[in-house]
Structures are given as structure tokens and as C-alpha cells.
Amino acid sequence: MLWAVSAQADGVVISELMPVNRMTLADDDGDFSDWIEIHNPTDQPVNLLNHGLSDDSAAPFKWRFPEHVLEPGERTLVFASGKDRRATRPRPSPVEAGLPRTIPGLSLWLDASDTGSMIVDGNGAVQHWKSKTEQPPQIDPEVNNPIDPGTVMGLKLWLDSSDIGQLQTDRGRLAQWRDKSGDNRHAEQSRFLSRPNVFEPPTGPPLIVLDGKDDHLIFDRIDNVQSVFWVVAEHQKSALGYKPLLGDSEKYHFARAMNGSMFHDSRNSVGREGRAWVDGTEVNPFHAPLPIGRLGLVTSISDKPGAASNLASDRFLPGRSWHGRIAEVLLFDRVLDEPTRIGIEYYLVNKWNLTNQYASLSGDTASQPDATSQPQLVTDPLSGRPFLRFDGLDDVLVTRRRMEARTVFIVAREAAHATKSHRALVGDFKYSHFNRGGDRLVYYPKGHFADGNTTVRLNGRPIDPVVTRLPDNLFQLTSVSPTAMPLSLVGSDRLVPDRNWHGDIGELLVFDRELNADELSAIESWLKTKWGLPSIQWHTNFKVSSGETIRLTRPLGQGASAVWVPPCPPDSSLGQAKGIHGIFHFAAPTPGLANTTHHTFGWLEPPRLAKPPGRYEGAINLTVEPPDNDSELRFTLDGSEPDADSTLYRKSIRLAKPAVVRVRAFRDGFLPGPIVTGSYLIGEKTSFPVASISTNPANLFDPDQGIYTEGRDYLNGTPEPVYNFKREWERPAFLEWFEPGESLGLGRDIGLRIHGGWTRHYYQKSLRLYARPRYGEAVFAHRFFPDLDMGEFRRLILRNAGNGWKTAFMRDAVGHELTARMGFEFQAWRPTVVYLNGQFWGIHNLRERIDSHYLSAHTGHHSSEIDLLQHTVKTGDMKHWQQVTSIINAWEALAPDERIAQLEAMVDLDNLMDYIILEVFLDNTDWPRNNVRQWRPRTADGRWRWIPYDLDGILGTAGHDASFNTLHNSVLHFPGQPPDFIRVLQKLFTHPRHRQRFIHRFAMHMQDGLSSGRILHAVQARQTALEPEMERHIHRWRKDVDAIERGDHEEEWSLPLWDIYDWRAQVRKLRDFAKSRHDHVWNHLQKGFLLDEPAMLTLADPDSRIRSASIEGVPMKKTEGVWLARLFTGQPMRLTVQPHHGWKLAGWANEDGPSADQLFTLKTDTTLQPQLIKRSQFRFISIQPTGGGALQIEYEQLGATAQRLEVSTNLKDWAFERELPTVLGQATPTIRIEIDENSPARFYRIVVTP
């Protein structure tokens, strides 16, 4: 099938077009707009000025090109976005090639435009990126040969972990490391718990791992050590301090510096009279650190002999043990000459594969030997410029550690699909100076660049980096610090998982000093010109739709090119194939390049399932109909996407148990059709809704890419493994949602992640579901929660009950019901049966996810108009909150009224009090250091509010019973530095009125939203909802019976419940806590605030004239005709009474009630009798014009004693007109107002006297 194309051979043409762009190419706003590629196939330049692009044959110049010359063979892109942008692109200008070298202090210069500076494999992966600074002297292999240390005189100790025969182990720990020098100074450790571990990586020799606590090895003392070689890697989390590689029981010649440098600058240090090298580069040992994170080579040669008798301890003092990995150690009792040093280093470099970082062999580079972590060299289709592309997963380059970085320039662009977490452009193995902020903030709000002494500029303009986000298009970032910053990584922050840069890097310049304003401007202008900043993209004023024709028209109206757009799969393109007339489909688009990938003639339609997905009582035969007679169908039953190698459909599929069928049409010369997915829940009788999720099994369980499994590090026994299930990885999946008793309610592509914190370890994990444009629609369009008046969601969670998974499976749900009763934002809850690739996966609790989208849906504020914090920024920024903390920090210096007024303007104090009351009463054991979310609308009067979150640590967990004093331990006497929101409350307690308000609100909430009845009702409702499926759920996830009988180790991640009775016992614990908690908390309040005994306050209301009554804003409870509350005596309270309509409060019987300021102090059990009288009222019933220009007014009077009519000419000055009669017993008295045209009176009013 060839789609028609017309083109003139002597002009520009439409060479490629993408009508459904979801992931291929982002525009300058980060949107995935459709795009059109224009190509000049001629041998002459063509000016595009006034060429037209259109989707309307009647308007060929619907969008016109600005002036731009397209050179012969050149291509350019236009986004068909509807945004209508046509600014002229600046012409490229030449730049001075070596300008950065003319400015002193240049330490590192990586330039992607100089592709000759890289070593790139055939797939575009970059192994080395050489700095354009002056390179160190290189080893000449013909002159400098590797030297075997065993052939060198003076060798006194040789420990080599690659020689497995020299390692004597006991249960995985190193008991003896035998000396290969011939002197038999074996390094030993008799105490088992102080023995290092032996780690055997999947590739390469074993390494000795020391824990930094008390691991060390002892050998016979050597008193005259002068030359030392170590192959080591210090742990990234190693604490600073005096932690030596070599030590002694008495001497400290090899002592480390407190700041982590190689040696301490003391008179006894061997560094005083010697030289030192790290990875072949000579360093100052009093300032240079050891290699961190990856193996490196350290050499020390000193004229001053040193004593050593152990590895990794300084005189066995506490806190002075080294932390890291050791591969090899060589000690000599003489000063080695330069050729011998180089020869031994060359030997060790080859042996331990250190070539990438050994400067004398590789030069000054940024490198990555691991092929799975190498960035790609790519050509940007929008500019034609080369970049290094980092995948945001594991890609990182390591460079020589620079401890003195002070000015850094970067040209980069973040990927549009990059997550909004802390993804660093550059970083260090150990320090986080360049740590990003959440929500794409340039830098972390509490980090190094939050300091006012630093300077950050974006595209040549100064910015506040803790409130500014990186732009969506190409940018140039300048960072200047007066203090030195370590820098050793390109594309990562400390190698922390999911903090890898996701996007492109074009150029990196690092200077070891602060550049002045002129120097900054010179470099920025140079980079701007070199990289064509700001980048300008064109956007048409229309979008591409299937069934229409896109036309390119010459300035005089001749047609240049036309492409009819058929239906296309997402991220495929239409384009010209070389040497063939027509327009074809391409599964692999090539924007900006010639269409050299495989072309096809069209896109197949979807097959049809003869039976709808859903529940079936018994086995079925499923017939599938192909879209045409020439296509074949291939299907899977394991959740994977069908491909050309999947099972061929020949006859109906027999389904005798739950299964997910995924089927697709294939035909030579055509793109495979859409995948049709159907879940057939054979024998499923649940009354719960069902969520069936299908995805490639490798997306879940593959050790390298599966999100549901421990991963390769764990399988290889890597110390402190990075578990796959803890990564922020997202995998494509398909979701089908079935309501109880109904057929398919929703079926769509989704993004799937693992959700949660520590509970990711559990065998059943929580799942996070994403609706994104790249999966189709940006929302889940379904009413998942019947009690919630919402039908659209951006994120959903299928939660495993968090820390409640092993117990009652409901704590968080109970907590959120109580949360809702107290007026907080809360997460809706619905227990759901989940199938994963056709397998029963137990109960999951369907929840909303609290994020900016949730707040936008529930509060009406746009997600971009919200600040949301959870320790750090989730959305917006924390500038406003830092202003709150500055008030707290300056509390004593501010006047009492001033500080309270400032705080009330920025914080919803009642919300804060209620939030802490809730968490304290429920005894959340994973709070307040964790699980704190606060938000505010980004408006002038937006105040901070808190959202109770992750409440599965409540109602008696972590060994707490109902008597635990959470108020004392988490609020009044918090150990150490309390979180800032706790500090706010503590400062409020210094004001008696606010302390009293907190006490009374606490007491009132315990009698309403947090009453035993409320909690017990919530528990019972959850038990009733969960009970029908708990038996099956427990059976799915409980411990393996056979494994227990065999005596196999059952990890703590399995479900400890055995049957429904165990679960009911856990539910009873919640009830027991709820029944006894109140008495304890009353006691905690009384002791914590030194209060008198509580008493009962009663408001008499015999005639039911009171609509509501409240104490400090919390409603009182009405029981048997009276309003009751138990409150502490001796504490003034604000008592508010709201009478029913038509009544007003006139006073209190015996003048025994609140004072004029509404404050009342309870002294003992007291009954108050409010005096209520009828409220005077006057109400218009109708105003009607009558003959002669008069008005007829009907009105009602209740309790009014008199009323009069007044007139005015200006609404300011009023004059008496006449008294109106008071007619008792008449339901609708009337008044007639004659309008005199000759009178200046134009306005009338009736004044009522009560």
C-alpha cells in the first residue's frame, strides 16, 4: 500500500512526518508534539521564507515559514503543535576555538562537539571522554614495562586478594590473609566479628571488605616502611575521621586527616617527607582523599620510615577503623626510584583493570568501563549538534576527583520524560554539593547553593536556584562557589540510585577558582554562540490528524509536497524511502536524518475477541477474528506483548483457569496491528472489584530490569546491594478494571512502578499506576471510588497495606477514615482483588496518591500553583516554608503579637494542631521524622496545611501499647532536633492562649472524631469489607509450608499469618487499643501540661434552640437534649454558641457563662444555661410596580417594634419620609410608594427598629 505523495524535484519536500508523537522527540516546551521534517534534496540552497504548511487545501498558507536558508541536503523540523511560533533562527557564528584555555584555573573541559575527544564503540556508547585541558605525561610502553613486585628488593608485605589460595576464610569472613613477600607476615584476625568479609563479584577476583566499625587485620610490625602501594576503594558512606589504611598499636605514622585526606599533617606523618600519587597523578597527601566508590591505586613514598602492624585501624581506638574494599597492599622498607614506582603501578593497573582512571595511560578523562553504564553519542535532530545522552538509569562517567571546583559551566538539556527527583548533572562520590532539588529545581533547597554567597546563572541571567526549575529546552548553567567543591562524577550524585542525569550534556567546563564577572560573561557568551542559544523551534498553528493531507506550498502558490495521513501507531512515522516513489510507514523514525530504516506499506487493524473479557464460571473456548484474510494472529498467555515469534493462532484458545490473552495481527510488509488484551477470570467469584495488570514478565522478574525482584546485585552477593524493587523504574503495562458483577469498566495502557518505602521488601508489593500522555490519555477516566464524586485520576496506588501487611491489613485505611472526620484531605480506600499476568495476586487496597495532581483535583488549585513538601520539595518550592522557619529561629527576638501575627498569616494553626493531635493520639510509630506531608496554594494568602499520610504505623505497632506517651516523646520532649513543624507547635506553647487552644481541641477531638466509637466503627467497617477475601489472600502469601517442614530459612518478608483466625486476632488488637487509649492520653495531657482534673461542661437546651456549640472551634456533642464535653479545669476556653434561625444569644442565666471575649474557665462540673430570645427580622416578600409609577411592597415583620421609610438623592444623605404601621397578626403587610417625577428623591430604604 503506497500513500500518494506529490513533489517538485527542484525544491524542498516533506520527507518525514509523525502524526502521533508520544516518546520520540520533545519540543522546546517538553511536550511531545507531532512533527514534520522538511528536506532540501537539491544541490542549491533554498530560502524557506513564505513557504506555506497547511492541513487545509483551501488555506495553503495557513502557516508560513520565517526566513531560513536550507542548505543542499539539509533537513529541518517543524512541530505541528498548534502553538504557532515562527521566530527567525539565528545564523551560526564562528567562535574562538580555545577561549576557555585563556582563562586561568581551567581544570576540566569536556566538549561533545569535539567527537575526536571520545572513544566510541560501534553502537555509539562512549567509554572515554578526554578533557581538552593539558594532559599529564603518558607512560611509554616501550620504555616503562610492568614490574612484578616480587622481583623488587625490600618487599616486606604483599597481600593480594586475587590469589584465592592466600585467603583463609571462615563462614565468609577472612581469618588470615597470607603474605606473598616471603617474610610470612600474615595478616590475621582471631575475633570472628572483627574479621573482614570476602566479597566475590560475578566478574573479577575477590575483594576484602572492611565495615568501618572494628574490622581489621594484624601482622608482625614493620618499623621502616617507606614505599607503599594500595589498590583500594573507600566506601562512599565512610564517615570522616582518623581512619587509616595502615596502622599500629602505638605509632600513627600513617594516620588519616579528620577531613578524609590521605594523611594527617602532623610531625610524625610519613607525608611530611615524601610524595604521594592517586591513580598515577601526584597529589598533596594532606588535601587529597583516597579513591572512593571504585578501585583506585594509591602510592606513598617517603624518606621518613613509618611503623605499621595492622590493616585498617589507628591504635585500635573506637571510631578509627577504615571503611571500604582492599584488593592489594605492598609495603617496602626502602625508597623506590621513579622507574620502579611507575613499573609497579603499571603492573597493578593492568592486573586490576585500572587503565580507565590511571592518568599516565588514559590521560585526564571522564570514563566508564562498564558497557551497561556508558552514555550514548547522539546527534540532536533539532540542531544537528552532537551530545552525550545519559539514560537516567545507570549511565555515569567518572573523572579524576577534583577537590577544588569553584566555577562550573554546563550546556545540557533534561529529557522530557525525566522524573522530577534529584537528578544531578555532575557530582561526587561522597559529597552532594551539586544535588538537585525535587520537582526539577536547579539545586537542593537546603544544599550548598542555597547559600547566599554562591552564584547561579541560567542562560546568562542570575537566578535563585532553589526556586527555579531547569527549562525544558537546551540551557547553559553557571554555578560559582567561594568554597571548594569536590567533583568526580558526570551524570550522578554520589552514585545514589535514581539520581542519575536523564538527558543530554553538550559541554562541561570546571575551574578551580571563582571567575570574575567579566570572565563569566566571556565564557557564557562563547557558549551561547557555540551552541546556538537560545534554541528556537518552529510550531505550526495546526495539529496533524489522520485522514487529512499535509501540504507544503511554495511562496508563489505552487504545490511543493503533499502527504495524506492514514492511521498510524504511536511513535511511527510516514516518510520517503530512498529510491522509491511514495510515502511509507517507518517503525523506527529518523527525525533530522535520511529515512534509512526498514519501511512498510501500512498498519494493520486490531483483531477481535469473540468473547468479552471478564468473569466466567467455567472453562471457555476463545475465538479470535483477524482483521483481514491475509494477516496471521500471534498471541501470548503470560502477559508479554506478542511478537513475530509468539504462538501462532490456529484455533480457539481453551481457557480453563484465569488467564490474560494478548493477541496481535502480523503480515509481511506491514506494521503489526495494535495489541488486543483481554483478561478471562475463569472461576473468579469475588464481590470485590478486580484489577488485572498485564506486562512482559521480564518487566517484573528479570534480574536486570524487573521491578518486582531483588535484582542482580542481590543475586551476586554484592555488599549493600541496590535492590531493583527500590528503584524508580517504570515499566509499560496494561490495566483492566472490572467492577463487581460487571464487564470491563476500563482497559488502557499504563505506567507501572513499585510503591512504598521499607515495605517494598515484602513478597507482596504495592503498585503505583500512572496515566500519562505517552500511554494514551493523561487521566484514568473511571469512577473507582463510589463514595467519591470524582471520575478522573492521574495516579493510583494498589497498596499492600504497607506496614500493616503482616497484621490487620487495615490500619492506614482506618486512620484515613478518622482523618476525613477531622476535616483533613484523605486518601480514598477500596479493597481490590489483583491479577498479575493472569495470576491471583491477593488483595490490594486501591488508594489515591497524595501529590500535586491529587491536591489539584480536591482543592481546585492547579498543580503548578501548589507547594507540596515531604522533607524536601515534591512540587513547587520551600521558600515560603523557610520564611516560617526563620520566624521560629528568631522567635525570642520578635514581639509576642508580631510573631503570632506573622505565623498565623503563613500557617493554618488549627490544621497544624489537629494534625499533631491525630498523629499523637493514634500513636504513629513512623512519625514525626517520617511520613510528613504539608502543602499550600501558591497564592498571596496561601497558608500551610498538613495531610496525614502513611498511617499504617498507628494503633499499637512497633511494640507500643495504648499507654505509650506519644505526646511526651514526639512533641513535648522530642529527642534531639525536632522537625520544624514540631518546633512551630512548641513555640506556640509559649503563648498561653495557644497552649490552651491545643489542650481543649485535643480533648474535644477525643470525644468526637477520635472517640472510641468512631474508631471501633471504622475498624468494623474495614473488617466487614475485607473478610470475604482474607482467607484466600492469606493462603496466597503465607509462609511456605514445605519450606518450613524442610527447615529452610523463611525470610521476614513473607506473611506471618496462617489463617483467618490469625487475622481476626490482629484486628482485635486494634479494638483493644481503641478501647483503652483514651484514659492514657487524658493522663498524658494532664501530666505533660501540669493540668488540673477534667470536669464536665453541660449546655442546657431544653427547647432545642441551639444549632451548634463549639469549644475552640471543635463542635460539642449533643446527647439527650444537652450539649456535653469533658474538659480540663483551670484552662480558659473559647466557647461559641450558634442559635437556630430566628434566635439570638442574649446572655447567660445567673451571669454564669463566657465573658465578653467568649472565654470561659471551667472549675468543676458545670451546667450553663444560655438565654436565647427571638431575633428581630424584617423581610421583603415581593416588590411589584403598579399603575402610575408606584411600587407595591409586601413584607414580613418578626419582632420588629417600628419601621420607617427614608429617601435619598445620593445614597449618602437620608431623610425621614414616614412611619410605617406595625400591624400585628397580619401575615403580609404592604406599603405603597408613590414615585414623583418632580422629586429629586430616587432612592428609598426601610429602617427597622427591633
Q: Which of 233, 223, 246, 221 is nearest to 320 (CA)?
A: 246
Q: What mean pLDDT do residues 918-933 have? A: 97
Q: What mean pLDDT do residues 33-52 have? A: 96
Torsion angle in degrees (nearest 10) through CA of 302, 303, 307, 312: -10
Contacts of 80 (CB under 8 A, 6+ apart): 33, 34, 35, 36, 55, 539, 540, 542, 543, 544, 550
d(CA 803, CA 535): 49
Torsion angle in degrees (nearest 10) through CA of 289, 290, 296, 302: 100
Please state the φ and ψ torsions of residue 837, each to the nearest 5 degrees: 50, 40
Contact 573, 22 (CB under 8 A): no
On the question of pLDDT at 6 being above 70, the answer is: no
On the question of pLDDT at 1215 being above 90, the answer is: no
Amino acid at 190: S
State pLDDT tens for residues 1029-1074. Answer: 999 999 999 987 666 666 655 567 889 999 999 999 999 999 999 9
| pLDDT band at residue 1224 using 50, 70 and 90 as cut-offs | low
Amino acid at 381: P
Which stretches within 822-925 are classed as H helix?
A: 852-859, 879-889, 896-906, 909-922
d(CA 359, CA 268): 30
User: Which DSSP letter does residue 593 get?
Assistant: S
d(CA 764, CA 759): 9
At residue 8, the pLDDT reads 44
Contact 336, 328 (CB under 8 A): no
Contact 847, 797 (CB under 8 A): yes
On the question of pLDDT at 328 being above 50, the answer is: yes
Contact 255, 242 (CB under 8 A): yes
Contact 835, 824 (CB under 8 A): no
At residue 591, the pLDDT reads 97
At residue 1227, the pLDDT reads 56
At residue 543, the pLDDT reads 97
d(CA 943, CA 881): 10
Q: What mean pLDDT do residues 1077-1099 have? A: 98
State pLDDT tens for residues 878-902. Answer: 999 999 999 999 999 999 999 999 9
At residue 1052, the pLDDT reads 76
At residue 1047, the pLDDT reads 60
On the question of pLDDT at 842 being above 90, the answer is: yes
At residue 742, the pLDDT reads 83
User: What 3-state DSSP class applies to 487?
Assistant: strand
**In the chain, what are the domains?**
5-89+538-600 (2.60.40.1260), 100-135+368-530 (2.60.120), 149-362 (2.60.120), 606-682 (2.60.40.10), 865-1011 (no CATH), 1092-1172 (2.60.40), 1177-1249 (2.60.40)
On the question of pLDDT at 847 being above 90, the answer is: yes
SS (H, E, C) 510-535: EECCCCCHHHHHHHHHHHHHHCCCCC
State pLDDT tens for residues 730-778. Answer: 999 999 999 998 888 999 999 999 999 999 999 999 999 999 999 999 9
Alpha-carbon 542 to chain mean position? 34
Q: What mean pLDDT do residues 690-717 have? A: 96
Pairing mode, strands 829-836 and 690-694: parallel
State pLDDT tens for residues 772-815. Answer: 999 999 999 999 999 999 999 999 999 999 999 999 999 999 99
User: What 3-state DSSP class applies to 603?
Assistant: strand
Q: Which helix (H) or strand (E) holds 812?
A: helix 811-821
3-state helix, strand, coil in the chain (%, to 5): 20, 35, 45
Q: What mean pLDDT do residues 818-847 have? A: 97
| pLDDT band at residue 686 using 50, 70 and 90 as cut-offs | very high
At residue 395, the pLDDT reads 97
Location of C-alpha cell 538539556: 413
d(CA 702, CA 41): 46
| DSSP annotation string for 1077-1104 | HHHHHHHHHHHHTT---EEEEEEE-TT-
At residue 1048, the pLDDT reads 58
On the question of pLDDT at 130 being above 70, the answer is: yes
At residue 1176, the pLDDT reads 66
Q: What mean pLDDT do residues 455-461 have? A: 97
Q: CA–CA distance from 803 to each of 465, 761, 807, 951, 1053 (Å)?
A: 37, 11, 8, 9, 11
At residue 1070, the pLDDT reads 97
| DSSP annotation string for 629-668 | TT-EEEEESSSPPP-TTSEEP-SPEEE-S-EEEEEEEE-T
At residue 609, the pLDDT reads 97
Percent of the chain with pLDDT over 70: 97
Alpha-carbon 128 to chain mean position? 31
At residue 1237, the pLDDT reads 74
At residue 137, the pLDDT reads 85
What is the CB neighbour count within 10 angstroms for residue 9? 7
Q: Which cell numbers hold the place of 166?
A: 592466600
Average pLDDT, the chain: 93
Percent of the chain with pLDDT over 90: 83
